[in-house]
Amino acid sequence: MLRKLHSIPGLIVGIFAIVLAISGAIMAIHPVLERSQAVVPAASELSVAQLADRIVSHYPGTEQIKRTPSGSVIAYYSNDGSAGAVLINPNTGKAIAPYEPSRFFRWVKDLHRSLMLGDAGRGAVGIAAALMTVVCLAGLLFLVRRQGGWRNLAKPLKGTLAQRLHTQIGRVTVVILLLSALSGTYMSATRFGLLPDASLKEPPFPTVNHDAPRAPVGDLKALRSVDLAQLEELVFPFPDDPQDVYSLRTSRGAGFVDPVTGALLSFTPRPVPSGIYGLIYQLHTGEGLWWLAVILGIGALGIPALSMTGTAIWWRRRRSAPKSVGHSRDDADTVILVGSEGNTTWGFAEALATALIDGGLRVHLAAMNSLAGSYPKARRMILMTATYGEGDAPASASGFLDRLERMPDDLKLPYTVLGFGDRQFPAFCGFAKDVDHALARKGWPRLIAAEWIDRKNSQVFNRWSRRLGESTGLKLSVNHTPERPATQPMTLLDRESYGEPDSPIFVLRFRPSASGIKNTRGAETRPFEAGDLIGILPPGSETPRFYSLASSSEDGVAEICVRKHQGGLCSTHLQQLQPGEEIDAFIQPNPDFRPTTGGSPVVLIGAGTGIGPLAGFIRKNGARKPMYLYWGGRNPNSDFLYRDVLTRCLEDKRLSELNTAFSRVEQGHYVQDRLLADASRLRQVINNGGQVLVCGGREMAQGVMTALDEILAPLKLDVSALRAEGRYLEDVY
């Protein structure tokens, strides 16, 4: 709902908003320019009478004096029948320069106010401003929900490049844009009579008829009591008309001044709506507040960027919108319900549904929010859902748990949950886990155990589909890789072997083909870093296997560290690969797994082949920031990976400390034991702003987390808190 409230009006006002924003940004320059030319005396330094006196001494034919909100004073005068206008220095009453309002700014102002279309244009601009208010508010609330609450608003962003750009620009500019949109809406509403009249009315014209000569303007009492800072306009009486008087407008109100006695003849104070209008006008235009004009201008420039990135996000969502697959609810034997916000989970669900239908099942595929009270022929239910916020439901599953609560107790289908999430979030697959628990509490039997998929890992999805197949008597192996990457050949340059015969490990170095390594979009490679991923397609498979890179593009090679798994299609292929032979591969950036820039210390923790990217980070530590490595292997004689590299880095201080733990030696122990033994040192490093990066298998990562929670407890800290600050990063497989 919030997203629709954001995106639909957003798309409608997109073009309008760009025109209004660019013209607004140009107009914002005006107060700044004006302020730079104006000479503004300090408040209470000069009265209107003194100013008028100075001006008249230089321009005896003065007819009108105006003060703009920026503080510029302009005198209009006539001299021997010809009229002129000058910008005045109030300190001397002399001209600074002839006054010529810019035609260009006037044109831009017309465009901004009415799109050059008169009242119809003004109406359209007013509606666009109101829609912009809705877009800003809905966008802000949507962002708060996605980020998991107001206090997480400033947290690092997730999502595609367009999503991150859109959110980042929105986050910085939303307050300014809301101010512009709300004030613009108010001004339009006032103009069209939807709000009380805000104009300042002059009092009735007084009757005077003097024969006596007029007093010098500098002596007029009523003008002596008005500070220049309050002046808006002073109109002089006609020289030969004994009934004419001075007309005065100030920030306080409007009135007339007797040119002979200097008395204030009548005065209307500024009504409240007019005062409010003036303030809102100032907030909208920045007139008189040059610094606000600068902020408003910068904010307005965010709009074209927001419109473009917003349209890109919308288009991508549309393209990946779910297609209807399968049978009706009443007819299906297998129900797949999907919880998704960015639509990628639908892609996985459709691939699964298609495979199950090909296998002869009758599948009903729908959103989790459409959970119904009965599925007459169903024999199983598969729930596939993403997680947002801090463990919250995605859009298409927001009402699922409530619906489930109200469901009749007699419906109990064998079910399984497949969660899609991202381990960088404290509540990894939090919503999928809630769904799994809720169904278990209702007494539904489990079809197969739940599985949690990190960052849309197609390999884990494929493995899970095979397990699901076994439970349904089908031979399933579903491949789905969101954004099918463009692969390219890479040649194996050399290999080093480690490990024991039952579990060999090898370090492989590939050379990108002559045209360079390509990234996931198929473009020529941008530089890659250690910690990025290489996706390798083993022959005969459509599902890429991902390995963390231990090198960066500067090294000219893509280096990985692989353990051979029993029956593993890709690792077996890589084990047999000989130098000179090629693989089909692509690079996938993994910017979430990198040491931060700056001098904060880094604790690197890994086991087995997890050393790959960690060794890469150490090799690149030219700045010599403190890096502490904790690594677990099996046996130092067979699988001490990167021993030489690490020794060299210790010598030249790229690595501060190397702590190893070997499990298959006498008194063997694991890396988490090594951490516990070093508890006080680790507390110190983390207290000094240290960051922790963990790479390796899931079990090891779980053990490390438990150990660190114990270590950090005296600091009243835990891994979740570090993770929330972006100081605990994992690359786990």
Ligand X SMILES: Cc1cc2nc3c(=O)[nH]c(=O)nc-3n(C[C@H](O)[C@H](O)[C@H](O)COP(=O)(O)O)c2cc1C
Residues forming contacts to ligand X in the complex (CB under 6 A) are 146, 158-159, 340-345, 386-391, 394, 420-422, 425, 427-430, 456
The residue written with tokens 């109406």 in the block is: 123
| Cβ closest to ligand X, residue 320 vs residue 635 | 320
Give, in order, the Cα–Cα distances in Å from 484 to each of 103, 325, 347, 480, 543: 54, 21, 12, 8, 10
Cα torsion 172, 176, 177, 179: sign: positive
| Cβ closest to ligand X, residue 237 vs residue 389 | 389
| Cβ closest to ligand X, residue 258 vs residue 718 | 718
55: closest CA among 81, 91, 97, 84? 91
Tell me the β-bridge partners of 227: 47
Q: Least distance (Å) from ligand X to the CB of residue 404?
A: 20
Q: Least distance (Å) from ligand X to the CB of residue 337?
A: 13
Q: Which segments of 589-648 are extended strands (E)?
A: 602-607, 627-633
CB 68 within 8 A of CB 36: no
| Greatest C-alpha distance within the chain | 121
156: closest CA among 422, 452, 433? 422
Q: Least distance (Å) from ligand X to the CB of residue 348?
A: 8
| Cβ closest to ligand X, residue 108 vs residue 367 | 367
Element (H, E) at 83: strand 82-89
Neighbours of 624 (CB within 10 A): 12
β pairing state of 602-607 and 627-633: parallel
Q: Least distance (Å) from ligand X to the CB of residue 141?
A: 14
Query: CA-CA distance, 265 to 113, in Å (whole number)?
Result: 37
| Cβ closest to ligand X, residue 462 vs residue 472 | 462
| Cβ closest to ligand X, residue 338 vs residue 371 | 338
| Cβ closest to ligand X, residue 223 vs residue 351 | 351
Neighbours of 352 (CB within 10 A): 26
Cβ partners under 8 Å of residue 545, min gap 6: 459, 535, 536, 537, 538, 569, 570, 571
| Cβ closest to ligand X, residue 398 vs residue 488 | 398
| Cβ closest to ligand X, residue 231 vs residue 429 | 429
- As a whole number of Å, the CA-based R_g of the chain is 36
Which residue has the closest beta carbon to ligand X?
421
Q: Least distance (Å) from ligand X to the CB of residue 322?
A: 10
The single-letter DSSP state of residue 151 is G
What are phi and psi for residue 331, nearest 5 degrees?
Answer: -105, -15
349: closest CA among 495, 179, 478, 239? 478
The residue written with tokens 């095979």 in the block is: 466
Q: Least distance (Å) from ligand X to the CB of residue 170?
A: 13
Q: Least distance (Å) from ligand X to the CB of residue 576?
A: 34
| Cβ closest to ligand X, residue 341 vs residue 639 | 341
Question: Angle 698-712/679-687 helices, nearest 10 degrees?
Answer: 80
Give, in order, the Cα–Cα distances in Å from 646 to each of 312, 656, 659: 45, 10, 11
Q: Least distance (Å) from ligand X to the CB of residue 453?
A: 7
Task: Give the tokens for residue 70.
Answer: 């920026």
Q: Which segments of 608-700 are extended strands (E)?
A: 627-633, 657-662, 691-696
Q: Least distance (Å) from ligand X to the CB of residue 420?
A: 4
| Cβ closest to ligand X, residue 678 vs residue 731 | 731
72: closest CA among 33, 32, 38? 38
Task: Give the tokens for residue 435.
Answer: 């769904």
Task: Give the tokens for residue 107.
Answer: 């044109």
Q: Least distance (Å) from ligand X to the CB of residue 387?
A: 4
Q: Least distance (Å) from ligand X to the CB of residue 675?
A: 25
| Cβ closest to ligand X, residue 391 vs residue 632 | 391
Q: Least distance (Å) from ligand X to the CB of residue 421?
A: 2
Q: Name all contacts of 647-653 with Cβ < 8 Å and 24+ positions apart.
A: 649/618, 649/619, 649/621, 653/624
| Cβ closest to ligand X, residue 265 vs residue 365 | 365
Cβ partners under 8 Å of residue 289, min gap 6: 31, 282
| Cβ closest to ligand X, residue 321 vs residue 514 | 321
Q: Least distance (Å) from ligand X to the CB of residue 65?
A: 57
CB 617 within 8 A of CB 595: yes
| Cβ closest to ligand X, residue 146 vs residue 509 | 146
Amino acid occupying residue 534: I
Q: Least distance (Å) from ligand X to the CB of residue 422?
A: 4
| Cβ closest to ligand X, residue 110 vs residue 390 | 390
End-to-end CA distance of the chain: 36
CB 139 within 8 A of CB 17: no
Cα torsion 347, 352, 357, 361: sign: negative
Q: Least distance (Å) from ligand X to the CB of residue 164?
A: 9
**For residue 345, with 0-12 CB atoms within 10 Å meaning exposed, 13-18 middle and 19 or more buried, which class applies?**
buried
Q: Least distance (Å) from ligand X to the CB of residue 589?
A: 15
Q: Least distance (Å) from ligand X to the CB of residue 397?
A: 10
Element (H, E) at 323: none
What are phi and psi for residue 271, nearest 5 degrees?
Answer: -70, 155
The single-letter DSSP state of residue 211 is -
Cβ partners under 8 Å of residue 120, min gap 6: none
| Cβ closest to ligand X, residue 34 vs residue 718 | 718
CB 560 within 8 A of CB 548: yes
